[in-house]
């Protein structure tokens, strides 16, 4: 039988969900050389009153900086692991921030309303998701029209996804590619929720409702 320690190490070096037991590596100071929280926050085009969702925040390495930039807004942290959320909560509390919420769940079934968020971002997370298309479809639903989806991939991640793969996955769900930052193994790709697709869907719904209303009414005896 595999020991708990060996299981953690196997998950650390292999693919899959990053183990919360070694989350301290995600706060390693040299990580700033790959991508600092300030630089990531710059790439999100945040406004002070934005409603933002971070999927897979881990111990909150990027979360504090993002929350600081939306003092009139709200940052919701969503993670599969309760232990990760507790670590992020402690970090947020130490920073004296009060505009952050915490939700545990599966990213393929996001428990939020339609058109709720201005921005959804993921850092080195999408590759870990079992059903990536379902996850991106769920994100599309909860983003506001023209809302921003930001996906960052970093070197050394066993679940790393190249930019062409991420673009293909996102565009299949109706997202429009806007821009990218960084290099091939260390990049951020930003997408917009397509307003035109939403408009087309609403137009179809309106036409269908009108047809129903205009259908002749039959009386039965």
User: Between 27 and 114, where is the model more confident?
Assistant: 114
- 11/111 Cα distance (integer angstroms): 27
pLDDT of residue 6: 44
Q: Report whether pLDDT(199) > 80.
A: no
What phi and psi values does residue 57 have, to the nearest 5 degrees? -75, -15
* Domain coordinates in residue numbering, the chain: 4-195
pLDDT classification of 25: cutoffs 50, 70, 90: very low
| pLDDT tens by residue, 166-191 | 999 999 999 999 999 999 899 999 99
Rounded percentage of the chain residues whose pLDDT exceeds 70: 73
User: Between 210 and 148, where is the model more confident?
Assistant: 148
pLDDT of residue 182: 96
What global pTM score does this model have?
0.79
Rounded percentage of the chain residues whose pLDDT exceeds 90: 70
| pLDDT tens by residue, 115-132 | 999 999 999 999 999 999
- 56/12 Cα distance (integer angstroms): 16
- 217/171 Cα distance (integer angstroms): 43
Q: Which of 83, 85, 69, 78 is nearest to 37 (CA)?
A: 69
pLDDT classification of 3: cutoffs 50, 70, 90: very low
Helix, strand, coil shares of the chain as percentages rounded to 5?
40, 25, 35
Neighbours of 157 (CB within 10 A): 17
Among 27-36, 117-126, 158-167, the minimum mean pLDDT is found in 27-36
pLDDT of residue 195: 79
Q: Which CATH superfamily is domain 4-195 in?
A: Vaccinia Virus protein VP39 (3.40.50.150)
Taking all residues of the chain, what is their mean pLDDT, rounded to a whole number?
Answer: 85
pLDDT of residue 157: 86
| pLDDT tens by residue, 43-58 | 999 999 999 999 999 9
- 97/111 Cα distance (integer angstroms): 23
User: Between 95 and 214, where is the model more confident?
Assistant: 95
Over residues 97-114, the mean pLDDT reads 97
Contact between 53 and 33 (Cβ < 8 Å): no
Over residues 143-153, the mean pLDDT reads 98
């Amino acid at each position: 039988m595999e020991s708990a320690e060996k299981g953690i190490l196997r998950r650390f070096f292999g693919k899959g969900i990053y183990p919360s037991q070694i989350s301290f590596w995600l706060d390693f100071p040299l990580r700033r050389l790959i991508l600092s929280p300030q630089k990531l926050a710059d790439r999100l085009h945040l406004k002070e009153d934005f409603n933002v969702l971070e999927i897979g925040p881990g111990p909150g390495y990027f979360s504090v900086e993002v929350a600081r930039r939306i003092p009139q807004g709200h940052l919701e942290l969503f993670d599969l692991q309760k232990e990760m959320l507790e670590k992020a909560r402690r970090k947020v509390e130490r920073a004296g921030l009060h505009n952050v919420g915490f939700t545990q769940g599966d990213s393929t079934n996001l428990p939020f309303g339609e058109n709720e968020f201005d921005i959804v971002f993921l850092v080195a997370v999408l590759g870990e998701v079992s059903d990536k298309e379902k996850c991106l479809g769920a994100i599309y639903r909860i983003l506001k029209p023209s809302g921003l989806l930001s996906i960052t991939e970093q070197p050394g991640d066993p679940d790393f996804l190249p930019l062409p793969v991420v673009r293909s996955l996102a565009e299949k769900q109706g997202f429009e590619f806007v821009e990218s930052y960084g290099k091939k193994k260390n990049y951020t790709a930003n997408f917009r929720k397509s307003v035109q697709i939403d408009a087309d869907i609403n137009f179809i719904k309106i036409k269908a409702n009108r047809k129903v209303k205009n259908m002749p009414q039959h009386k039965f005896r």
